[in-house]
Amino acid sequence: MCGIVGYAGDKKAQPILVDCLKRLEYRGYDSAGLAVVNDGVQVYKSEGEITALETGMPSMEGTVGIAHTRWATQGKPTAENAHPLQGCGGKVAVVHNGIISNFMELKESLTSEGHEFSSETDTEVFAHLVEAEYEDGDLLEAVRRALKRVDGTYAFAVVARGRDEVVAARNESPLVIGLGDGENFLASDVTALLKYTNRMVHVMDGEVVRLTKDSVSIVNAEGAPVVRAPERIAWSLEDAEKGGYPHFMLKEIFEQPAAIHDSLLGRIGTVEGDESFLDDSSFSSVKIVACGTSYNAGLVGKYIIEELAGIPATVQISSEYRYSAAARENPLVVLVTQSGETLDTIAAAREARKRGNHTVAIVNVTGSAITREVDHVIYTRAGPEIGVAATKTFVTQLIALYLLAIELGSKSRTLTAQARRSVVGQLRNLPRAVQDVLNQAETIEAIADKYRDARDMFFIGRNIHYPIAMEAALKTKEISYIHGEGYPAGELKHGPLALLSKDTPVVAIVSRDHTYEKMIGNISEVSARSSPVVAVANDDDTEIGKFADEIIYLRRIPSLFSPVPVIVALQLWAYYLAKARGCPIDKPRNIAKTVTVE
Ligand code: F6R
């Protein structure tokens, strides 16, 4: 998991490469480097973030180059293991995102042929392979021949001494071409290139690309030319930048009313006019498959689908689904992934298709890998999300799950026209409900500040709010580094109560519905262990003050829809805890935005 960039134009490549690289930093930031073609191939790299690369970097002349920001998988995060990597002759330089699974055997065979290795990476074998094939001076052919020996996942970009071109290839790692005037670009993600162009061409698996300042050519795995029309990406550069907020995460939290609105746009109206996400088949069950935050969205989706469509739904972690036995029934398989590039989820999509299941992906990134692996796609339309912690993509995943449930419920006739109208009305009110929460940001910050020194924190909820407790715990742990656990409130007494003390705050999601009395009982169990209780409660709850130390009041809406405003309040909770603790909010340690390894 890394970010790669390529440039061929008539401007100095170095500042453009570094600028694009900074926009990819969310993909990994333990080391970085670049290579510029001039008399030879000049390489500069360093350990640490891109700012560390800039410090001490010499000025590099040349108008063609490649660059890389790394999230280590093979080999420690050191300058030696940073990309670009070169073969022993120094004729070519390579950047890579992915994993070469047969690199050990390739390394052995290359070593026996006399190649000397200077890093611990899998990528270096590819540099040696390309260099060995490059004798005839045709870089694209050399790359194609080298690829024949490589197993694994990759987006590679390669430059060679004396060549005014960048050659790139893709297999299961994202790669996009940006088309400019008198210059062309390559990157792992469109957001890296938006400052320079919005005309993009997605590279597909098996394809190899040659980029010069005034031409782009693509060939498929067999070497046949590929013609693909560019797409115009509607995201503006401003969309992809912080817009005045101190962190992308806060900006993205505040964008949620608009994101929900966009997600619903044109999709709910009359039954006949609605966008359809399914074919005409009917499904007797649904299986939702995802990782991390997207998995938590899936858990909420289970409640939504069972309620609105009356169909049983199960949820499974992608990396587990793949190895589980196929169920006897034929479920609709819903893959949830904001990036569309999470390899565990892509592998699960392939497995579902192998099992003969109909597949739907809920995804944010247009044209991402998963969209080519499934029968239908529901785009969440959240816009670019740069903060590593998913926020607006989670909330819009929930919206997509409501939409899917409405369609399933309408098809199965579980949802009457009247019930449907009421659900649609509730969805339309969500942007306002979220805005009400955002208006309370200062109150939430003040409460969070009191608990900034906690080491552990529990989050509890019942029914549809249980997965929201899980998601709040995940957000809290990943950005504030406070150990957070999400639990069904009724489950604390079966073990975790042993961990509670006056130093263990418990955040309780309290809804005035059929779970209310039981939830109050659970809060009392917590208070009896002297744990401070922070309740997220309805604004018409006049009793809660007797049981909780702090209260975040939210306007009451039906429980089926309240996961949306509640999670926004708890995203702010996690954000302000992390801010108070001085954590690097947009780039938490050890994790990256897109996980393209299994
Ligand atoms: C946490 C987070 C991760 C992702 C997970 C799956 O804030 O963002 O847990 O949810 O890595 O990523 P996607 O949704 O891209 O498949």
Confidence of residue 262 (pLDDT cuts 50, 70, 90): confident
Active-site residue (options: 45, 107, 475, 593): 593
* This model's pTM is above 0.75: yes
**440-598: CATH class:** alpha beta
Q: Can you say whether residue 244 is alpha, beta or left, with left for phi > 0 and alpha for psi between -120 and 50 degrees?
A: left
- Mean pLDDT on 316-331: 88
Write down the pLDDT at residue 527: 92
Which ligand 1 atom is nearest residue 318's CA? 16
Ligand 1 pocket member 292 (CB < 6 A): yes
Give the pLDDT band (50/70/90) at residue 281.
confident
Contact between 32 and 67 (Cβ < 8 Å): yes
CA distance 513 to 517: 9
Q: Determine how many CB atoms are found less than 10 A away from the CB of residue 221.
A: 15
Per-residue pLDDT at 136: 61
End-to-end CA distance of the chain: 11
Amino acid 330: pLDDT: 87
The response to whether residue 571 sits with its C-beta less than 6 Å from ligand 1 reads: no
Sorting pLDDT into bands at 50, 70 and 90, what band is 26?
confident
Q: Is the pLDDT of residue 99 over 70?
A: yes
CATH value of 242-432 in 3.40.50.10490, 3.30.70.80, 3.30.450.20, 3.40.1160.10: 3.40.50.10490
Q: Can you give the residue ranges of every domain in the chain?
A: 3-237, 242-432, 440-598
Segment 43-92, tens digit of pLDDT: 999 998 899 999 989 999 999 999 999 877 777 889 999 999 999 989 99
Distance from the CA of 146 to the center of ligand 1, in angstroms? 33
Q: How far is the CA of 475 from the centre of ligand 1 (A)?
A: 11
Fold matches, 3-237 and 242-432: no
Residue 345 pLDDT greater than 70, yes or no: yes
Q: Looking at residue 311, what is its pLDDT?
A: 94
Ligand 1 pocket check for 595: Cβ under 6 Å: yes
Report strand pairing: 231-232 vs 286-290: unpaired
Is 287 assigned a catalytic role? no
Q: Which fold has domain 3-237?
A: Glutamine Phosphoribosylpyrophosphate, subunit 1, domain 1 (3.60.20)
Q: Report how far ligand 1's centroid is from the alpha carbon of 84 (Å).
A: 27
Residue 383 pLDDT level (bands cut at 50, 70, 90): confident
Taking all residues of the chain, what is their mean pLDDT, rounded to a whole number? 92
Contacts of residue 302, Cβ cutoff 8 Å, sequence gap at least 6 = 288, 313, 314, 315
Atom number in ligand 1 closest to CA 397: 14
Strands (E), 364-430: 376-379
pLDDT-derived band at 273, boundaries 50, 70, 90:
very low
Tell me, in angstroms, the distance from the centre of ligand 1 to residue 295's CA: 8
